[in-house]
């Protein structure tokens, strides 16, 4: 059975986005680029909520840069009660209905891991249902305070985690891997 990896990029104070910070909170670097490339080149299924899917599809579906081409080639599943197939972004399908049953089937049928990107509401639902096998937090070295947008942990369920690994990237980012 495939593992479900939930990946979140967050500031030290727990925001997934901020006012005037740009991509990667302004902390892009060679180690982060290598991690992103390695993760995107691994065989896996991308799992997204509708909002993230629409944002990513708008940027990547017709793009020809290597990162977009890799993302387009991957199988993608979007959790949505609104979207209907066929979807415009290649290799994409909709998962609707009971989330627990749909994710259980996805994990059972996938040949590689299933990996979320973004999709805070979806990750919260997956954690609530006990479906996440690894929660991977890429922590960026800044606090956003009143400039913070999208609090990453708002309304998450109380859940104990076991630290499964740490990695330092570019001498300033910390990737924390937790298992429920």
Q: Which residues of the chain, if any, have pLDDT below 50?
A: none
CATH number at residue 130: 3.40.430.10
pTM above 0.95, yes or no: no
Write down the pLDDT at residue 60. Answer: 86
- 56 part of a folded domain: yes
Place of tokens 């990547």: 60
Write down the pLDDT at residue 156. Answer: 86
- 139 part of a folded domain: yes
State the Cα–Cα distance between residues 7 and 1, nearest whole angstrom: 19
Q: What are the backbone dihedrals phi and psi of residue 85, each rounded to the nearest 5 degrees, phi first?
A: -80, 150
- 17 part of a folded domain: yes
Write down the pLDDT at residue 110. Answer: 94
Find the domain containing 78 and state its range. 4-9+12-170
- 179 part of a folded domain: no
- 176 part of a folded domain: no
Write down the pLDDT at residue 159. Answer: 86
Into how many domains does the chain fold? 1
Write down the pLDDT at residue 116. Answer: 97
CB 4 within 8 A of CB 114: yes
Write down the pLDDT at residue 158. Answer: 86
Task: For residue range 82-135, list pLDDT tens digits in order.
Answer: 999 999 999 999 999 999 999 999 999 998 999 998 899 999 999 999 999 999
- Three-state SS for 166? strand
Based on C-alpha coordinates, what's the Rg of the chain? Answer: 16
Give the residue ranges of DSSP H helices in 8-166: 30-41, 50-60, 66-73, 99-109, 120-128
- 178 part of a folded domain: no
CB 164 within 8 A of CB 177: yes
- 177 part of a folded domain: no
Strand partners, 24: none
Write down the pLDDT at residue 67. Answer: 86
- 81 part of a folded domain: yes
């Amino acid at each position: 059975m495939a593992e479900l990896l939930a990946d979140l990029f967050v500031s030290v104070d727990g925001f997934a986005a901020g006012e005037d910070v740009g991509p990667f909170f302004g902390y892009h670097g060679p180690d982060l680029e290598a991690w992103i490339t390695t993760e995107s080149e691994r065989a896996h299924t991308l799992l997204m909520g509708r909002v993230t899917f629409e944002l990513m599809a708008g940027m990547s579906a017709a793009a020809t840069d290597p990162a977009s081409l890799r993302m387009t080639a991957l199988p993608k599943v979007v959790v949505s009660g609104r979207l209907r197939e066929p979807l415009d972004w290649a290799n994409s399908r909709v998962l609707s209905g009971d989330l627990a049953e749909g994710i259980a089937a996805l994990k059972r049928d996938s040949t590689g891991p299933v990996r979320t990107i973004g999709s805070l509401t979806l990750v919260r639902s997956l954690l609530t249902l006990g479906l996440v096998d690894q929660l991977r937090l890429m922590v960026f070295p800044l606090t956003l305070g009143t400039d913070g947008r999208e609090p990453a942990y708002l309304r998450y369920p109380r859940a104990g985690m076991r630290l499964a690994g740490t990695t330092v990237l570019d001498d300033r980012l910390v990737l924390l891997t937790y298992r429920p």
